[in-house]
């Protein structure tokens, strides 16, 4: 089993951002070199199927990279739990995540309650193995049901704080029509990792219809979110990891990551 690595940085990037460049061994290895050259010391993700544990660990070590937490897969949590735990431990990680509420639970209030039960059960199993299970939100959880409850309220109130953790996404909280700073404060004691991406309105000046200017995923500091306040608030409630994610980019995603890491460094992160 690999030993846990001391945290060398506060900033990481999720591999989802560069997913189109990670489809085979050669491209993955080249992408890790690019991440090192940009200045990253940590990534968030899991071992791809075309590497063994040893090969992937060697690749990370060669590029001075660590895993800040392990990529989550609900299918593996349901059907291959023990092997997944062993893999997480091998890479020295103490957290994993579920990246979204499953499709089968999204459309009804009852579905959210069912998901909460399953998440609590899995979180307890992971906690018994020294691993935190984190939940990553999108905008859909802020949909309000006929009862007046929103999905995010059902999740927040229903998750057992003894075992569960949140991994809020700044862009998606704002996109859901709520206050990022408020939600970070609400998660005090229940969150150590924050997903960071900015929110901008399409700057294309040709879009003049008042109702048609779309929102975009943006590099840190190029959108409208208050990053100094976000970082200061997150640090004050115990966040240790600030993980850059950009679902889609108008640029090459490596260029976007280079802008975003500088954006977080400009507000005091290392």
- For residue 172 the two structure tokens come to 């998606």
Query: How buried is 149 (Cβ within 10 angstroms: 0-12 exposed, 13-18 middle, 19+ buried)?
Result: middle
pLDDT of 6 reads 64
pTM summary value: 0.95
Identify each DSSP E strand in 113-214 by its residue range.
132-135, 164-166, 193-196, 198-201
**What phi and psi, each to the nearest 5 degrees, are found at residue 114?**
-65, -40
Written as tens digits, the pLDDT of the chain (270 aa) is 443 456 778 999 999 999 999 999 999 999 999 999 999 999 999 999 999 999 999 999 999 999 999 998 899 999 999 999 999 999 999 999 999 999 999 999 999 999 999 999 999 999 999 999 999 999 999 999 999 999 999 999 999 999 999 999 999 999 999 999 999 999 999 999 999 999 999 988 888 887 777 899 999 999 999 999 999 999 999 999 999 999 999 999 999 999 999 999 999 999
For the chain, domains (ranges, CATH) are: 11-265 (3.20.20.150)
Nearest to 246 by CA among 178, 182, 171, 194: 171
SS3 of residue 261 by DSSP: helix
Would you list the DSSP string of 181-207?
HHHHHHTTTS-SEEEE-EEEE---TT-
User: What are the contacts of 144-152 at 24+ separation with CB within 8 A?
Assistant: 145/108, 145/109, 146/109, 147/109, 149/109, 151/101, 151/106, 151/109, 151/112, 152/176, 152/178
**What phi and psi, each to the nearest 5 degrees, are found at residue 42?**
-150, 145
Are 261 and 238 contacting, i.e. CB atoms less than 8 angstroms apart?
no
- For residue 173 the two structure tokens come to 């909280």
SS3 of residue 217 by DSSP: strand
């Amino acid at each position: 089993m690999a030993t846990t690595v001391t945290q060398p940085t506060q900033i990481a990037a999720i591999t989802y951002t560069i997913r189109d460049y990670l489809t085979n061994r050669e491209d993955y290895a080249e992408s890790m070199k690019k991440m090192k050259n940009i200045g990253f010391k940590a990534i968030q993700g899991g071992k791809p199927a075309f590497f063994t544990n040893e090969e992937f660990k060697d690749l990370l070590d060669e590029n001075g990279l660590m895993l800040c937490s392990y990529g989550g897969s609900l299918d593996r949590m349901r059907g291959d739990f023990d092997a997944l735990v062993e893999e997480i431990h091998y890479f020295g990680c103490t957290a994993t995540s579920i990246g979204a509420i499953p499709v089968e639970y999204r459309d009804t209030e009852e579905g959210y309650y069912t998901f909460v039960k399953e998440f609590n059960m899995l979180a307890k199993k992971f906690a018994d193995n020294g691993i935190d299970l984190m939940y990553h939100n999108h905008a859909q959880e802020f949909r309000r049901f006929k009862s007046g409850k929103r999905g995010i309220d059902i999740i927040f109130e229903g998750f057992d704080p003894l075992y569960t953790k949140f991994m809020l996404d700044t862009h998606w909280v704002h996109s859901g029509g709520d206050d990022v700073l408020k939600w970070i404060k609400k998660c005090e004691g229940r969150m150590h990792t924050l997903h960071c991406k900015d929110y901008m309105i399409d700057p294309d000046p040709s879009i003049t219809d008042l109702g048609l200017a779309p929102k975009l995923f943006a590099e840190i500091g190029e959108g409208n979110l208050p990053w100094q306040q976000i970082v200061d608030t997150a640090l004050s409630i115990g966040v240790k990891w600030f993980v850059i994610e950009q679902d889609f980019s108008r640029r090459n995603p490596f260029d976007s990551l280079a802008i975003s890491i500088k954006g977080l460094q400009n507000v005091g992160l290392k």
